[in-house]
Amino acid sequence: MLELTVYGIIYGSIIALGAIGLTLIYGILRFANFAHGDLMSVGAYIALFLISVLFPVLGVPQERFGGTSFGWPLILAMPISAGVTALIAIALDQMFYRPLRARRASPVIVAMASLGAAFIVRNLIYIFWGPDKISYFPGLYRPAWQLPFDIRIRPDELIIVILALSLVASVYLFLQKTKLGKAMRATADNPDLARVTGINTERVRLWTWGIGAGLAALAGIMYGVNAQLYPEMGWSFLLPLFAAAVLGTVGNPYGALIGGLVIGIVQRLSTEWLNPAYQPAVAFLVLIVVLLVRPQGIFGGRS
């Protein structure tokens, strides 16, 4: 049980990173971004390209810190991939979503456009890398540490949790303390008033895409480090991402954090009694229960 909870926290912190972006985009751009999971895949595969193709050519030192995947290649690949994924998301916004906004298209139309963008992205990954599962560092031996209470954890997993939770804390501070962060929350609250107040809402939108996609890319890479990459990986994350965002009240980034951790832990704990293949169904079940019992989510004070 304890071990499954630990695995749940690892998995949940990855979900949380993805769900923050999803919930911010919903709050500020007012549509459900079905391509958000695929942004995670994009981030993961860009890192794969850097690590396995570009860095060896450039002569980046390949050694890693004992028993982990972390070394110069991964440390460099994470920020670069996050930046490139952010630019891709902004480009998608300018190409697809901005013209729809200008026409005042309904949120359903924009969400459907994002579904189209998701298919495009996923199939581009198929074209370039094929359908097989790939590891960042094939054949790497990663022994697990034996901790008290019979918990076995790999150093990689420990690094992932620490990294994810510090990213989550930085996002929190960013939203709470900086002018741009406050403007993002204000725009999510009331876009019309934000415009009347003189906030450049179009620039806030660009930053929302950038930050949301960057976090999604990092979440994708962390998942790839812990497991393996495959083109459908992001798509399979979509359900837990939505469950986490809804659980934590759509539009509320702090809620998405808590929601992500809860969904991650519940999914992993369920494997104690259920076949692990049912984990997506567990996320779906949580989603349905939340919608029935408390549709406004745990942080939704006002209706």
Partner 1 sequence: MALLEAQGIVSGYGGMEILHGVSIKIEPGQIVTIIGPNGAGKSTLLKTIFGLLSVKSGRVTFNGTDITGWSPDRIVRLGMCFVPQTENVFPSLTVQENFEMGAFIRTDDYRARMEEVFALFPDLRARRHVKVGALSGGQRQMVAMGRALMLDPKLLLLDEPSAGLAPKMVELIFERIKDINRSGVAIVMVEQNAREALKFSDWGYVLAGGENRFEDTGPALLQNEEIGRLYLGG
- Binding-site ranges for partner 1 (CB under 8 A): 179, 182-183, 185-186, 188-190, 192-200, 252, 301-302
How would you label 34-70 residue by residue, b for 16+ Cβ within 10 Å and e otherwise? bbbbbbbbbbbbbbbebbbeebeeeebeeebeeebbb
| Smallest distance, partner 1 to C-beta of residue 187, A | 9
| 196 versus 292: smaller Cβ distance to partner 1 | 196
84 with 92: CB under 8 angstroms?
no
Beta-carbon contacts of residue 236 (< 8 Å; ≥ 6 apart): 37, 280
| Smallest distance, partner 1 to C-beta of residue 109, A | 20
| 58 versus 302: smaller Cβ distance to partner 1 | 302
| 59 versus 198: smaller Cβ distance to partner 1 | 198
| Smallest distance, partner 1 to C-beta of residue 204, A | 10
Between CA 157 and CA 282 the distance in angstroms is: 23
Nearest to 267 by CA among 258, 254, 280: 280
What's the burial of 169, exposed, middle or buried (CB within 10 Å: 0-12/13-18/19+)?
exposed
| 2 versus 189: smaller Cβ distance to partner 1 | 189
| Smallest distance, partner 1 to C-beta of residue 208, A | 16
| R_g (Cα) of the chain, nearest Å | 19
| Smallest distance, partner 1 to C-beta of residue 200, A | 7
| Smallest distance, partner 1 to C-beta of residue 243, A | 22
| 170 versus 176: smaller Cβ distance to partner 1 | 176
| 146 versus 302: smaller Cβ distance to partner 1 | 302
Measuring CA to CA, how many Å separate 189 from each of 122, 150, 195, 303?
A: 32, 46, 12, 13
Between CA 248 and CA 252 the distance in angstroms is: 7
| 179 versus 292: smaller Cβ distance to partner 1 | 179
| 134 versus 298: smaller Cβ distance to partner 1 | 298
| Smallest distance, partner 1 to C-beta of residue 252, A | 8
H helices of the chain, where?
2-29, 36-49, 55-58, 72-92, 98-102, 107-129, 155-177, 179-189, 191-197, 201-226, 233-247, 253-270, 279-293
What's the burial of 297, exposed, middle or buried (CB within 10 Å: 0-12/13-18/19+)?
buried
| Smallest distance, partner 1 to C-beta of residue 203, A | 11
